């Protein structure tokens, strides 16, 4: 029944159906789950004298006279009286209301009060005859689109609730509903739209928030059910590995050592590793990934490192070769590799001649087969869907899994996305790194900033300049990389300036990045293609144009491109149009260098859908639940999810049926 098309509802013809589609309402279920964004409380009728000017309220008044008047346009003027007050109700659609009022009849009027002495006025108030059932209540207010009024939306909601009365089935196990003391799903839908009281609303919201988080969490657990299972041959830690660690040209930080010990414990435990490594930009996660790869190879297994962009994959490839030379066979597999070379690489991978594969989503293709895949690493994991990551893991027989993230994930969100994973925090920077000094630059200070940049380049340093657009646009008034590149060439004629963006071929980007790495280019103008993975220690200044166009976590990522060496680094954030939220975002970045603090703030300002793109994980957007406000419910949900898994493992027949139903849905819910 929830899949029934909305055009089966009374009052929804073809035109209204198309309008509802604009706000993603196509079925009865969509209509039920398009919740009110606020409510108007019309339960109490108050006197005119008690309602202050500018306040919304509901009064009772008797109609004295009804007139059509013409000022700039035709209006309907309804003269009313309430006790000692006389007033006027003004309506701007007189032809529709011509016969709506009876002189001598009393009505409820709800609107904004405008009062002068004993006279009062309301413009376009809502009204109903005194005694009309339903007018005095808690009224839902919905997000709308042009052509559909809130009154119509209310009618649609009532219509669908009436049509589904007694037909909305539970989607939670019965014992969970009882144990958690939740109202029924039918009651929740009814009371979230038309609450009888504040208490009824709270109970309805709690049920629906619980439901969203429960099903989301359980589906994730089902997707990950192959993790943490026994594997045939636990890895060992050969002496060669410890010798290699001791010969690294740098000292590992305490956080790196702790994380490496956790990885070693995982892979020697006899169970498949499933670990998330979180750490700020430059904290040294890559060497930990290379260490895990080396352990896999020493245990006669193949390893994969998957990156979200060809540029980052190429950098990991070069970094790996720099560390290991020709002692380990490694291949770079991206969509840019020529077909003939790619075919040869795939054959070598299938035979086991290539031990390590570094690449992009090209690794996921069906014809990429491994002889003995033992370790899967994904970098910048939030850029891959869950199904993408799992498809790589399925190419091996229960391979160990390691996920790296330079985007700190707030604890509340990681509970959802990585509920069953072990988490390592690389929460200290390598010795000698200095905090990056971050400044907001107003338009009148841009010239001073350029003077500062000039001095630093003369000292031998380099600069990133990031723009939100590739090319100039008539539709959007923002700085483009190509336009700003020309501007800087005129501003700094004595320096080499490079340009790199996503529309360029990988070979072109690689050439420019190599030139920048070798200091043949002093200023690199770019879009966010340099957001992750680019490592140029000599670059000490990051300039972000139109910084209000970037998310807080994204700005933190960009800032992390500098500060890679021992020299003091700077980040300059430019903007001409700062709204309240943008200002809060910039202030957070200026005042904090902790990626985790910034991630929490970004989550609060923009929500999880915007920050981490739940849909790109393959997850449904949370319609009612908030990962900020509903932390308590989230913890409660996880308790019941564990109970369900336990019941499943004890062969509870009802739970097994429920789990099977959710498993079947996964094929349609999670896509590449």
pLDDT in tens, 509-527: 878 888 898 899 999 999 8
Neighbours of 461 (CB within 10 A): 21
CB-based contacts of 311, cutoff 8 Å, min separation 6 = 506, 509, 510, 513, 529, 533, 534
Exposed, middle or buried: residue 580 (CB in 10 Å: 0-12, 13-18, 19+)? Answer: exposed
Residue 346: phi and psi, rounded to 5, are -60, -40
pLDDT > 90: what percent of the chain?
41
> Can you give the pLDDT at residue 307?
87
Nearest CA-CA partner of 286 in 238, 319, 244: 319
> Can you give the pLDDT at residue 540?
94
Q: What are the tokens at 4?
A: 């029934």
364 pLDDT above the threshold of 70: yes
Between CA 456 and CA 567 the distance in angstroms is: 11
- Cα 646 to chain centroid distance, Å, stands at 31
Instruction: List, as one string, the DSSP characters of 240-300.
Output: HHHHHHHT-SSPPPHHHHHHHHHHHHHHTTTB--EEEEEE-TTSSHHHHHHHHHHHHHHTT
CB 327 within 8 A of CB 240: no
Between CA 497 and CA 523 the distance in angstroms is: 5
643 pLDDT above the threshold of 60: yes
134 pLDDT above the threshold of 60: yes
Q: What are the CB-based long-range contacts (under 8 Å, 24+) for 470-477? A: 470/501, 470/502, 470/503, 470/527
pLDDT in tens, 63-78: 999 998 887 788 999 9
pLDDT top residue among 105 and 398: 105
Are 239-426 and 437-592 in the same CATH fold? yes
Exposed, middle or buried: residue 319 (CB in 10 Å: 0-12, 13-18, 19+)? Answer: middle
Between CA 573 and CA 551 the distance in angstroms is: 12
- The three-state secondary structure class of 194 is coil
Between CA 415 and CA 627 the distance in angstroms is: 10
Mean pLDDT, range 637-663, rounded to an integer: 83
Reported as half-sphere exposure (CB side, CA atoms, 13 A), residue 540 has a value of 20
Band the pLDDT of 585: cuts 50, 70, 90: confident
579 pLDDT above the threshold of 80: no
Nearest CA-CA partner of 378 in 321, 314, 278, 308: 308
Mean pLDDT, range 416-424, rounded to an integer: 68
> Can you give the pLDDT at residue 105?
96
Q: Is the dihedral of CA 499, 501, 504, 505 positive or negative?
A: positive
CB-based contacts of 664, cutoff 8 Å, min separation 6 = none
pLDDT top residue among 226 and 334: 334
pLDDT top residue among 37 and 532: 37
> Can you give the pLDDT at residue 263?
96
Mean pLDDT, range 457-481, rounded to an integer: 81
Band the pLDDT of 381: cuts 50, 70, 90: low
Mean pLDDT of the chain: 84
Exposed, middle or buried: residue 288 (CB in 10 Å: 0-12, 13-18, 19+)? Answer: buried
Match domain 437-592 to its CATH number in 3.40.50.150, 3.40.50.720, 3.30.40.10, 3.40.50.300: 3.40.50.300
670 pLDDT above the threshold of 60: no
CB-based contacts of 339, cutoff 8 Å, min separation 6 = none
Least trusted range by pLDDT, from 259-273, 291-305, 467-481? 467-481
Query: Domain coordinates of the chain in residue numbers?
Result: 44-136, 169-223+637-672, 239-426, 437-592
614 pLDDT above the threshold of 50: no
Reported as half-sphere exposure (CB side, CA atoms, 13 A), residue 208 has a value of 23
Band the pLDDT of 323: cuts 50, 70, 90: very high
CB-based contacts of 478, cutoff 8 Å, min separation 6 = 467, 468, 469, 545, 546, 549
Band the pLDDT of 620: cuts 50, 70, 90: low
98 pLDDT above the threshold of 70: yes
> Can you give the pLDDT at residue 443?
87
> Can you give the pLDDT at residue 611?
42
496 pLDDT above the threshold of 60: yes
Least trusted range by pLDDT, from 357-366, 478-487, 587-596, 616-625? 616-625
CB 131 within 8 A of CB 85: no
Between CA 354 and CA 213 the distance in angstroms is: 42
337 pLDDT above the threshold of 90: no
pLDDT top residue among 618 and 449: 449
CATH number of 239-426: 3.40.50.300
Mean pLDDT, range 232-243, rounded to an integer: 89
- The three-state secondary structure class of 208 is helix
Strands ordered across the beta sheet of 523-526:
437-441, 570-574, 539-544, 462-466, 523-526, 497-500
CATH number of 44-136: 2.40.50.140
> Can you give the pLDDT at residue 260?
96
Exposure string (b/e) for 98-117, b if CB count within 10 Å is 16 or more?
eeebeeeeebbbbbebebee
């Amino acid at each position: 029944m929830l899949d029934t098309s909305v055009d089966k509802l009374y009052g929804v013809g073809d035109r209204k159906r198309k309008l509802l589609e604009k706000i993603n309402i196509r079925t009865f279920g969509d209509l039920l789950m398009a919740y009110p964004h606020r409510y108007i409380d019309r339960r109490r009728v108050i006197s005119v004298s008690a309602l202050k000017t500018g306040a919304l309220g509901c009064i009772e008044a008797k109609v004295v006279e009804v007139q059509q008047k013409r000022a700039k346009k035709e209006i309907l003027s309804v003269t009313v009286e309430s006790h000692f007050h006389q007033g006027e109700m003004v309506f701007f659609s007189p032809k529709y209301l011509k016969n709506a009022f009876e002189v001598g009849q009393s009505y409820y009027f709800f609107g904004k009060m405008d009062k002068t002495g004993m006279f009062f006025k309301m413009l376009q108030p809502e009204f109903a005859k005194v005694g009309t059932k339903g007018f005095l209540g808690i009224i839902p207010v919905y997000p709308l689109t042009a052509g559909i009024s809130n009154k119509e939306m209310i009618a649609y909601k009532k219509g669908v609730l009436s049509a589904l009365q007694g037909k909305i089935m539970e989607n939670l196990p019965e014992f969970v509903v009882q144990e958690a003391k939740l109202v029924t799903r039918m009651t929740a839908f009814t009371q979230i739209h038309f609450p009888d009281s504040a208490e009824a609303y709270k109970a309805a919201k709690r049920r629906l928030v619980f439901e969203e988080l429960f099903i989301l969490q359980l589906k994730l657990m089902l997707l990950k059910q192959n993790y943490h299972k026994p594997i045939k041959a636990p890895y060992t830690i050969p002496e060669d590995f410890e010798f290699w660690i001791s010969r690294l040209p740098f000292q590992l930080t305490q956080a790196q050592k702790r994380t490496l010990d956790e990885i070693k414990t995982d892979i020697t435990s006899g169970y498949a590793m499933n670990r998330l490594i979180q750490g700020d930009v430059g904290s040294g996660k890559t060497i930990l990934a290379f260490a895990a790869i080396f352990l896999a190879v020493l245990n006669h297994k193949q390893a994969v490192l998957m990156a979200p962009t060809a540029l980052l994959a190429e950098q990991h490839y070069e970094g790996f070769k720099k560390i290991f030379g020709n002692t380990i066979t490694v291949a770079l597999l991206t969509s840019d590799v020529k077909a003939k070379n790619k075919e040869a690489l795939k054959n070598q991978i299938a035979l086991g001649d290539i031990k390590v594969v570094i690449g992009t989503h090209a690794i996921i293709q069906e014809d990429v087969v491994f002889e003995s895949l033992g370790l899967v690493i994904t970098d910048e994991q939030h850029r891959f869907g869950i199904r993408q990551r799992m498809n790589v893991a399925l190419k091996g027989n229960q391979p160990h899994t390691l996920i790296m993230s330079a985007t700190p994930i707030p604890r509340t969100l990681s509970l959802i996305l990585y509920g069953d994973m072990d988490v390592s925090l690389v929460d200290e920077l390598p010795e000698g790194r200095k905090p990056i000094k971050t400044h907001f630059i107003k338009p009148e200070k841009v010239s001073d900033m350029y003077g500062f940049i000039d001095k630093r380049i003369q000292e031998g340093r380099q600069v990133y300049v990031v723009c939100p657009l590739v090319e100039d646009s008539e539709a959007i008034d923002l700085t483009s990389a190509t336009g700003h590149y020309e501007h800087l060439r005129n501003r700094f004629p004595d320096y080499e300036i490079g340009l790199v963006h996503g529309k360029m071929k990988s070979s072109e980007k690689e050439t420019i990045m190599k030139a920048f790495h070798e200091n043949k280019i002093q200023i690199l103008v770019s879009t966010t293609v340099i957001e992750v993975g680019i490592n140029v220690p000599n670059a000490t200044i990051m300039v972000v144009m139109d910084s209000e166009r970037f998310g807080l976590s994204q700005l933190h990522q960009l800032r992390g491109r500098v500060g890679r060496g021992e020299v003091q680094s700077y980040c300059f954030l430019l903007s001409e149009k700062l709204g309240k939220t943008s200002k809060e975002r910039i202030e957070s970045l200026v005042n904090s260098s902790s990626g985790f603090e910034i991630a929490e703030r970004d989550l609060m300002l923009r929500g999880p859908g915007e920050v981490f793109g739940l849909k790109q994980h393959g997850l449904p957007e949370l319609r009612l639940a908030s990962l900020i406000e509903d932390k308590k419910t989230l913890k409660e949900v996880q308790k019941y999810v564990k109970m369900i898994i336990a019941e499943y493992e004890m062969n509870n027949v009802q739970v097994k049926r429920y789990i099977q139903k959710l498993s079947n849905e996964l094929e349609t819910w999670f896509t590449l």
